[in-house]
A = this chain, B = another copy of it.
Amino acid sequence: MSVTAPQGFEAAGVAAGLKSTGKADVAVVVNRGPRKVGTAVFTSNRAKANPVIWSQQVVADRTVEAVVLNSGGANCFTGAFGFQTSHLTAEKTAELLEVSAGDVVVCSTGLIGTGDEVFRGKVLAGVEAGIAQLSADGGQAAAEAIMTTDTVAKTVVVRRDGWTIGGMAKGAGMLAPGLATMLVVLTTDADVDAADADAALRRATGVTFDRLDSDGCMSTNDQVTLLANGASGIRPGLDAFAAALTEAADELAKKLQGDAEGASHDITIVVRGAVSEQDAVEVGRSVARNNLFKAAIFGNDPNWGRVLAAIGTTRAVFDPYDTEVWMNGVRVCAEGGPDRPREEVDLTPRATDLVIDLKSGDATATIRTNDLTHEYVHENSAYSS
């Protein structure tokens, strides 16, 4: 069901010929109202793709009628022509839906530098075909149309008393914070105003997608868009809505982690005992981005020294001689030296738990990452070929 699980949303996914495999590659999600609240968060990469630049303008007034997404080309670093393509995509959509082009969000994913006339023609034809196929059952087809190296379509539905949140996500590798590299659309029939929608989206992404750091690489195309139409007639409070939205975002984030390119371990890094949440996040990220640690986990090797070496590169408050490291429940380092024998740690399961106790305060944070594998190198060396 994904984005069409809440009332008042329609979606479609069609094959427009952007993917050489012939699979679906253009998705359309339309909000049928009554309200047309929309907001989004974007990559913090300063090299932004054209659809990001376009969509930042669109969401400024917190009104969104539709989202058009394509896989098979990032339309990034494609010059003025590429920006015009995003603009034309919105105009075509607006014309067919009889809405304003300024209320149509555009998202693209694929190889940077792809966005020529052929690309433009296929996207525009895809928009036309997609809108012709819009339906209240189209959520799954839309989720499939945004896949790139994803091995599964990623969707979520969170139900509350009388209202629902639906969502779809694409992303597999190039996952880094601020945001993780991904395209996500979240929909809800709850009656939330623009301010609450925006606040809830930032709260939810801040502790979910922003803390997913698969390979430290930040994309040029990330967008997470939230559409709200109030079709349920129920108005949850901000806290209740934000909690449900966080649940939906967390579920999608876990699915992104679980499908990261070539990964063989899903690593959950819990940092506790930090002086501040910021310190906890910085420590978690430093470990999540350490290639030596990630390669060790791939090899089922509880090499805790690499954890300490990573923490040492941060500015966080900690005492190297009073920090604890736990791997899958076994305390392997305490008081600046080896604790339990590394042989006690079983790293063969895919789910890997790393706990770091800085013993300096009460703050905590969780960062999700993956291991560094032969397959990761292989997939990313062959990406554009």
Contact = CB atoms under 8 A, between A and B. Distances in A.
Contact of A384 (B220, B289, B296, B320): B296
Nearest to A320: B47
A209 interface: no
Given A46-B320, A321-B79, A338-B77, A217 B291 contact: yes
Category for how many chain A residues contact B: 35 or more
Given A291-B380, A377-B373, A383-B303, A219 B77 contact: no
Contacts of A46: 311-314, 318, 320
Interface stretch (A58-66, A134-142, A184-192, A329-337): A329-337
B295 A380 contact: yes
A318 B310 CA distance: 30
A107 to B, nearest CB: 16
Contacts of A47: 308-309, 311-312, 320
A276 interface: no
Q: Is the interface of A mostly helix, strand, loop or mixed?
A: loop
Contacts of A312: 45-48, 218, 220
Interface in A130-152: none
A29 B220 CA distance: 51
> What is the total number of copies of this protein in its complex?
2
A381 B311 CA distance: 20
Nearest to A215: B291
A118 interface: no
- Pick the most buried of A48, A313, A318, A374: most chain B CB atoms within 10 A of its CB: A313
Nearest to A173: B292
B383 A216 contact: no
Contacts of A314: 46
Interface of A: 45-48, 74, 76-79, 81-82, 111-113, 173-174, 215-220, 289-292, 295-296, 298-299, 301, 303-306, 308-314, 318, 320-321, 333, 335-338, 342, 372-374, 376-378, 380-385
